[in-house]
Amino acid sequence: MWYRHNRNGYICGKYAKHGNIACSHHAIKEQQLIETILTDLKSIYKSFEHLDMENQIKNKVHELQKKNAVRLQTIEKQIQKQMDLKRNALKKFIGGDISQEDYHDFVSMVQDKLQHLEMEKSTIKQVMVDSQSPLTYQPSESK
């Protein structure tokens, strides 16, 4: 391509050097070329930007999965602790150390806490399952 001031644009190199014999006349205005290049550069930049955004989202999802796994382990330990407390209360009730009313009150309190922990455990498991579904990003076509 050769730049020609009188045309404010570029013409075919073969045409500029050899004329009609070597090539047909075709040219492009400088402003049109600049706009085309800028449009292409912008679309390339956006694709990199979307790629970076997708990686950030994947990293955040991965971090959330780790936090949920840790929280799930903590809940499991708390459930086990509540079950141990319930067993100990039963042993004390059988041994005559606490009254039936105290035993039922304590067991009711522990059962409420267990129910709450099981609901939280279920919610976290559902979030973990939902976050396992593949992320798909499809950029919108804009021109």
Condensed to tens digits (0 to 9), the pLDDT of residues 68-110 reads 899 999 999 999 999 999 999 999 999 999 999 999 999 999 9
Question: Could you state, in order of their start, the residue ranges of all structural domains in the chain?
Answer: 2-132
Instruction: Using the Cα atoms of residue 8, residue 13, residue 14 and residue 16 in order, give the sign of their dihedral.
Output: positive
pLDDT digits (tens, 9 = 90+) for 112-140: 999 999 999 999 888 888 777 655 544 44
d(CA 103, CA 98): 7
pTM passes above 0.85 = no
Pick from 29, 31, 38: which is nearest to 10 by CA? 29
- Report how far residue 27's alpha carbon sits from residue 3's, in angstroms, rounded to the nearest whole number: 10
